[in-house]
Amino acid sequence: MPRGPADAILFESAVICEYLEETQGGPALHPADPLLRARHRGWMEFGSSILADLWVYETTKDDVQFETKRQVLKAKFTTLEQDLGEGPYFAGAQFSMVDAVFAPVFRYFELFEVLLPSGVFDGLPRVNAWRQALAVRPSVVDAVTPDYPERLIAFLQHHGAHLLTHSKIAA
């Protein structure tokens, strides 16, 4: 039996955001133009693939697997650099769903780069400017609790992550 709106269960943050945008009449997080909107959805999928790569990057104990994922991430961010405009956000001045997908990716790297500099953002000025713009956006800052770094480190410790092997933080 189909569920009604009151008892429907949605999952995946992008899907939830799209549902809210379509039903609540709030600010548009997708471009109005259908072709541009489709391109944004493609970049959202690309961001999801980066999140999948990050899972291995942050949890692996294996040096070779870590380095392989580091190279994959570097290549993906290099691809992204080629499509970014002047910013500050993915679509210019307007915050979009693409920004919402990439904000957590970049938040992970705020800590990862302190633990073990990767070089994945070297030579990528537009990606770095976008990262910085998202890092100070109030909705992005407020999306996690103040103890987020400690929780992420505890997660890495639990997994015996390679990221911690050369850091000052004990694995």
Q: Tens digit of pLDDT for each residue in 47-72?
A: 999 999 999 999 999 999 999 999 99
What pLDDT shows up at residue 30? 83
Predicted model pTM: 0.87
Task: Tell which CATH classification among 1.10.3720.10, 3.90.930.12, 1.20.1050.10, 2.40.50.140 matches the domain 33-164.
Answer: 1.20.1050.10
* Predicted local distance difference test score (pLDDT) of residue 160: 92
Position 168 confidence tier, pLDDT thresholds 50, 70, 90:
low
Rounded CA-CA distance 71/13 in Å is 27
Query: Do residues 100 and 12 touch, judged by C-beta distance below 8 A?
Result: no
Question: Per the structure block, which two tokens stand in for 47?
Answer: 């961001």
Can you say whether the dihedral through the CA atoms of 128, 134, 87, 72 is positive or negative?
positive
Q: What single DSSP character describes residue 72?
A: H
Q: Which residues contact 72 (CB under 8 A, 6 or more apart)?
A: 53
Domain layout of the chain by residue ranges: 33-164
The rounded percent of the chain whose pLDDT value lies above 70 is 94
